[in-house]
Amino acid sequence: MVRVALIQSIGAVDPTQGLAHHLELISQAKELGAEIICTQELFKTRYFCNRIDSEFFSWAEDINGPTLQCFMEIAKKLNVVLIGSIFEKRAPGLYHNTAIVVDADGSYLGCYRKAHIPDDPGYFEKYYFTAGENDFPVFQTRYARIGVLICWDQWFPEAARIAALKGAQIIFYPTAIGWLVEEKMVFGQDQLTAWLTIQRAHAIANGIFVASINRTGLEGDEKSRCIEFWGRSFLVDPFGRIIKQAGEKEEILVGELDFSLIEKTRINWPFLRDRRIDLYEQITRRYFP
C-alpha cells in the first residue's frame, strides 16, 4: 500500500513564486499522509507554450538547478518521494521538458525527458523542447517502482507498455491539457472523455496504476492562445477503475494504492502472458502503405 498525492494547481506568474507555492503544497500533501507526491507539467510557471516567444527561455534551468536542490532538501525532510516537471536547459540551444525524480532520503534518482513533443495550435512545444532520448526509465523509490511520462506521451501505448515491462507499478503523467476556448462548445466533452479513456486503457492493458496530474485555470492573453485547463487529475487502478478524481480548482488529490491488485488483475487478465513478441517486429515501421 502507498499513499500518492497529485498537486493540481494554477500557473504562477514567475518561476520563483511558483516553486515557493508548490513547496507549501508539498508540505500540505505530506500532512495528508502522502508518500509519493507529483506535480503537474511545467509546474513552476504558466503554460508558456501557448505562444512563441524567445523570452521564455530565460525560465529554463540546469538539471541541478534550484528546483532539484529544493526537492532534495524537502524530500529528505519529509521522507517523501517527489516528482517534478521542469523546463531544462541542457546546453546552449538545447532544452527539454523534463521530469526529475527524488527519493525519500533526498537522493536524486534521475530524470525523464519528454519523448513525444506536440506542435498544435496553442501547444507550440517543438519551438521550445528537444525530444528526449532516454528510453522510458523506471525508478525504484522507497515506496514503489515508478515510471514517469509527460503529457503528450500519454497518447502512445508503446511508452506505457515499455514502462510496465520494466516493472513499473505506477505510471505518473504530469500534464498540461485543456480546451482552446473557441473549441470547447463543439469538442469539449469528447476531448475530455478521450483523455480519460486512453489512460484508463493503459492501466488495463498493462495491469498497473496510472496517475495523471493536470493543471487548472484559464491561461492566455492577446499574445497567446487562450486555454482553459480542465484539471480533473485522477488515479486509476489496474482494472481501469477511477480511484479518485479532482475537480476543476486547485487541489491536492490523495489516494491509496493497493499493489496486490496488480497481481490479481494480471492473473485474471493475462495480457503480458499472451503477448506474441515473435510477431511484433513490424511495430518499429513508421507506416505500411
Which residues are catalytically annotated? 41, 114, 151
Is residue 226 within 8 A of residue 181, CB to CB? The reply is: yes
Which phi and psi (to 5°) does residue 228 adopt? -100, 100
User: In 11-142, where do the E strands start and end?
Assistant: 36-39, 81-91, 94-102, 108-113, 138-140
User: Would you say 17 and 45 are in contact if contact means Cβ atoms under 8 Å apart?
Assistant: no
Instruction: Write the CB contacts of 47 (distance below 8 Å, at least 6 apart in sequence).
Output: 11, 41, 176, 215, 219, 227, 229
CA distance 133 to 112: 9
Decide: 177 and 140 in contact? Cβ < 8 Å. Answer: no
